[in-house]
Amino acid sequence: MENLFKLTARDAVSNLKKGEISPMELIDAAEERIRKTDDKINALPTLCFDRARKNARHILEHPKKDIPPGYLHGLPIAVKDLIEVAGVRTTWGSPIHAEHISTHSDYLVERLEDNGAIIIGKSNTPEFGAGSHTFNEVFGHTHNPWNTKLSAGGSSGGSAASLAAGQVWLATGSDLGGSLRNPASFCSIAALRPSPGRVAHGPTSLPFNDLSVDGPMGRNIGDVALMLDAQVGHDPRDPVSISAPNTPFVTAAEHPRPPKRIAFSPNLGFLPVEDNVQEACEQAAKTFAAMGITVEEACIDFTGADEIFHVLRGQLFAGGRAKLLEQKELLKPEIVWNIESGLEMSGAQIAAATSARGALYQRTLEFFKTYDLLLCPAAAVPPFDGQARYPTEVAGVHLSRYIDWLMICGMITLTTCPAASIPCGFTSDKRPVGLQVVGPPRGEAAVISACTLFEQNQPFADMVPIDPIDAL
């Protein structure tokens, strides 16, 4: 049990399938690892081991006969604290729901548990997932395992930190403006924002929302592909959900196909990005070139996309969170700003942004007629001081809005393209940097293939899990 936490998710599932280890042994290993590490990183503030062991016994007593792609055979996972799990405390990181016990599970949780996942805990998140820095008034800050004085990113920061520290083998995350990609970059793990509809979720008051999606997080891209197979599929309760593909996504990791032509952009044309981040990502692009793949500096035309994102994100917060203003005094100021700015949007602004997004999508389709993939940084900055609320300046450029530093992910969100973040290096002071790999709409397999090839040519995927580092 001493080293079980070091197994990849795929190796752990393989051993579970063959009966060489049991779900109970992995639950025990996870519990011990959390006991040893979580006081330093605060990644999993809510644990549910009694529920986990009950579900493990059920899996052992009722083995599945027809095993679908992505079946996890009793693998322990963490679920982000924005996602309800029946019988488990779900707070959304907010004092408003600090003592809430869920009476039902999200559709995503139902599918994961049907596919043999065992939930052992809820991962920390900023209040209602707003902001790519994981802290809240209920559980406090989540710390980066690579340097506990730094941010773990967000809003899936608890999941990312938990994976990097070896507490779980897989974890769920969600992503609106980078909430999967940013913490993956900060914690040097892998994550994938899938195309809207790939992963069913709900119930929700905004079932037609395609800006925010749920997705998988793991220590490497093959593990991420495995979890994606456990998540995907049509659910009639989610009106935008689509059927699982005929070929499992893990096949793209097992038999990767190299792209022919890749575009690289250090800043999506105009965004401020720290030099040390650009340099690491440029080196990553050279890795693809060294494989014989054509790599050219090019980018989708993102003219006006930052404003489109601001308007549509505001509309989403106004539509889904406006009632929270009745308890305004309990909300962090960023939540209030999000909702109020959305309520102030005019119909003309929303109409213009919606139309402009349609034009951006058409430009995206044209771009992917020439290029198979787009590479760019997954975050504009490396992990920052954990006591700061968010970066107010990037590369010497003052930022007027608290979400402006997230635009390198937010603008990709608008395209509906799948996008992964994979580790691609470190700054000179040992802060992780992630590479964002963007595929065409519904092109998850191409993204997974390329990420696999990169991992095979670089050592970064093998560097986690780590013991949390209390850096000076």
Flag whether 258 is in a domain.
yes
Flag whether 469 is in a domain.
no
Residue 406 predicted with pLDDT over 80 = yes
Which band of pLDDT confidence, cut at 50, 70 and 90, is reported for residue 404? Answer: very high
The single residue of 94, 123, 132, 155 carrying the catalytic annotation is 155
Residue 161 predicted with pLDDT over 80 = yes
Flag whether 36 is in a domain.
yes
Residue 2 predicted with pLDDT over 80 = no
**Over residues 438-442, mean pLDDT:** 98
What was the pLDDT predicted at 471? 80
pLDDT tens profile 48-95? 999 999 999 999 999 998 899 999 999 999 999 999 999 999 999 999
Flag whether 32 is in a domain.
yes
Question: Helix 407-414 to helix 347-370 angle, to the nearest 10 degrees?
Answer: 90
**Over residues 172-196, mean pLDDT:** 98
Flag whether 471 is in a domain.
no
Flag whether 349 is in a domain.
yes
Mean of per-residue pLDDT scores for the chain: 97
Count of domains observed in the chain: 1
What was the pLDDT predicted at 167? 98
The single residue of 123, 156, 162, 179 carrying the catalytic annotation is 179
Flag whether 472 is in a domain.
no
User: What's the Cα-to-Cα distance from 311 to each of 195, 304, 328, 345, rounded to whole Å?
Assistant: 21, 11, 22, 7
- 355 catalytic? Reply is no
- 65 catalytic? Reply is no
What was the pLDDT predicted at 50? 98
Percent of the chain past pLDDT 90, that is, above it, reads 98
Tell me how far apart the alpha carbons of residues 234 and 198 are, in angstroms, rounded to a whole number.
8
Residues whose CB is less than 8 angstroms from the CB of residue 306 and which lie 6 or more positions away in sequence, other chains included: 271, 404, 407, 410, 411
Percent of the chain past pLDDT 70, that is, above it, reads 100
- 80 catalytic? Reply is yes
**Over residues 99-112, mean pLDDT:** 98
Domain that holds residue 151: 4-462
Residue 1 predicted with pLDDT over 60 = no
pLDDT tens profile 223-261? 999 999 999 999 999 999 999 999 999 999 999 999 999
Tell me how far apart the alpha carbons of residues 430 and 276 are, in angstroms, rounded to a whole number.
11
Name the burial class of residue 395, with classes exposed (0-12), middle (13-18) and buried (19+) by CB atoms within 10 angstroms of its CB: middle
Residues whose CB is less than 8 angstroms from the CB of residue 303 and which lie 6 or more positions away in sequence, other chains included: none
**Over residues 394-421, mean pLDDT:** 97
Flag whether 58 is in a domain.
yes
Residue 283 predicted with pLDDT over 70 = yes
DSSP H helical ranges for 232-297: 250-254, 275-290
pLDDT tens profile 297-324? 999 999 999 999 999 999 999 999 999 9
What was the pLDDT predicted at 472? 63
Q: Helix, strand, or coil here: 144?
A: strand
157: domain CATH number is 3.90.1300.10
β-strands 170-175, 75-80: how paired? parallel
**Over residues 271-278, mean pLDDT:** 98
